Chain A
Amino acid sequence: MKMSQNTPDKDEDQTSTSQKTISLPISRVRLIMKSSPDVNCINQDALFLTTKATELFVQHLAVSSYNNRAKQETKSLSYSDLANTAEENDTFQFLTDILPKKILAGDYLKSLEQLQEDDADF
């Protein structure tokens, strides 16, 4: 299966040779890495390792969240399982900003009211 289309640079070659070991497109991972302002150059091995690590990370996050799911009786993985895992597992702490826990608007308003009442006490 060909993964990288529209990439006229040399990366396309590398993506196709490493099909057996990685499935994410190296060119896209490089684009994300290069969007980081301090990064100058990335050698081919570092690029490959980051791509592979990202795949391992996706597997690890999915499996951890699934094992930690709220509804153990169902065979499904939901957003809240991910948000819970991000919050409870130390290595996933960096994800809490993009995996915020969802709360009901009503609960949020209540907690806001609670805060205001607490403030009023002072």
Chain B
Amino acid sequence: MAERPEDLNLPNAVITRIIKEALPDGVNVSKEARRAISQAASVFVLYATSCANNFAMKAKRKTLNAGDVLSAMEEMEFERFLEPLREALEVYKKGQKGKKEVSEQKRKDKEKKTDSENDKSREEEDEEEERMDEEPEAENEAEEEDVEN
């Protein structure tokens, strides 16, 4: 729950950036206009939520899902948003999946690292025995460390 009323505002810096990027270069947007757009955005969120919630309630669901939000956009006559929204959701889902894979990879790397550290300590023992003609291998090891970091 929001504790302070300003918690229900969207960050001005981000709103300003989105406005700037949408308008041609060099357009001056008055402070009052920026504040009004930011408030309009908050009202938009509430309106969209209430519409989406109606769809969820009709279907006797307690959780709002993506379909409810898309239906809400249609009802609000923002059909123009449907296509970009679907595309963005696709990218977002891929990102989420990719992130899982990345963390999986990280976990594997970590395991590998501990393995290779064990190897290294063994190698170091070997090195001490024949230090003089070990130069190329020492170089390889330095490279290995770079990759790990």
Q: Mark A32-66, 1 if CB is under 8 A from B, else 0.
A: 11111011111101101110111111111111011
Distance A32 CA – B48 CA, assembled complex (angstroms): 11
Q: Mark B124-140, 1 if CB is under 8 A from A, else 0.
A: 00000000000000000
Known contacts A17-B99, A36-B50; A56 and B85 CB within 8 A of each other: yes
Distance A81 CA – B21 CA, assembled complex (angstroms): 18
Place the interface of chain A in its size category: 35 or more
Nearest CB of A to B23, in Å: 6
Contacts of B43 in A (CB 8 A): 94-95, 98
Kindly specify which of B57-65, B105-113, B114-122, B141-149 makes contact with the partner chain.
B57-65
Nearest CB of A to B114, in Å: 25
Contacts of A52 in B (CB 8 A): 84-85, 88-89
Residue in B8, B42, B81, B89 whose CB lies within 8 Å of A48 = B89
User: Which DSSP category, helix, strand, loop or mixed, fits chain B's interface?
Assistant: helix
Contact across chains for A50 and B80 when beta carbons are under 8 A apart? no
Contact across chains for A91 and B77 when beta carbons are under 8 A apart? yes
Contact across chains for A59 and B89 when beta carbons are under 8 A apart? no
Distance A45 CA – B89 CA, assembled complex (angstroms): 7
Residue in B23, B24, B27, B45 whose CB lies within 8 Å of A50 = B45
Known contacts A17-B99, A23-B17; A76 and B77 CB within 8 A of each other: no
Contact across chains for B23 and A42 when beta carbons are under 8 A apart? no
Contact across chains for A78 and B63 when beta carbons are under 8 A apart? no
Known contacts A43-B63, A58-B22; A50 and B49 CB within 8 A of each other: yes
Known contacts A24-B11, A62-B23, A82-B36; A57 and B29 CB within 8 A of each other: no
Contact across chains for A78 and B26 when beta carbons are under 8 A apart? no
Residue in B27, B29, B66, B70 whose CB lies within 8 Å of A43 = B66
- Pairs of residues from A and B, 5 with the lowest C-beta to C-beta distance, nearest first: A59-B22, A45-B66, A41-B63, A76-B28, A49-B69
User: Which residues on A are within 8 Å of B, measured CB to CB?
Assistant: 3, 14, 17-18, 20-25, 28-29, 31-36, 38-43, 45-46, 48-50, 52-63, 65-66, 75-79, 81-83, 86, 90-91, 94-95, 98-99
A-B contact pairs, 5 of them (CB 8 A): A18-B95, A24-B10, A25-B14, A58-B15, A86-B40
